[in-house]
Amino acid sequence: MEPEPENVDLSVLDPRRDGARWDRMVENVAARAIEQRRLRLRAVRRGAIAAVMAIAAALAVWFGAPKRDPVTHRSGDLLEWAVRDVEPSEVLGLGGNDGR
């Protein structure tokens, strides 16, 4: 293989040629990165706290809600009618006057 050609002088493209400007650029990037990261971590922390509080509130509502009685809240008369032998006239009586 042919020998590798020598380096091409690309120094005119080097942003570090202006040392003071380069230092400012480095400091600026580092400072912005630190600040953005701080804000991001804070947002994540707040999001986590909000999520924990929302879960706690949901659990409190769930366990604090009054327990429902199964079926017995329905009309006792109807239930009775369903399980016993009831005369049709008695059923009509269930609806009061409108039943007729």
Residues that bind another protein (CB under 8 A): 2, 4-16, 25-30, 32-34, 36-38, 40
For the CB of residue 9, give the shortest distance to another protein in the complex, in Å: 8
For the CB of residue 61, give the shortest distance to another protein in the complex, in Å: 34
Nearest to another protein of 4, 69 (CB atom): 4
Q: 40 phi and psi, to 5 degrees? A: -65, -45
Rounded CA-CA distance 60/54 in Å is: 10
For the CB of residue 45, give the shortest distance to another protein in the complex, in Å: 13
Answer for the pair 99, 93: CB distance below 8 angstroms, yes or no: yes
The H-assigned helical ranges of 65-94 are 76-83, 88-94
Nearest to another protein of 39, 55 (CB atom): 39
For the CB of residue 20, give the shortest distance to another protein in the complex, in Å: 14
Which CA distances in Å does 60 have to 38, 51, 57, 65, 67?
Answer: 33, 14, 5, 8, 14
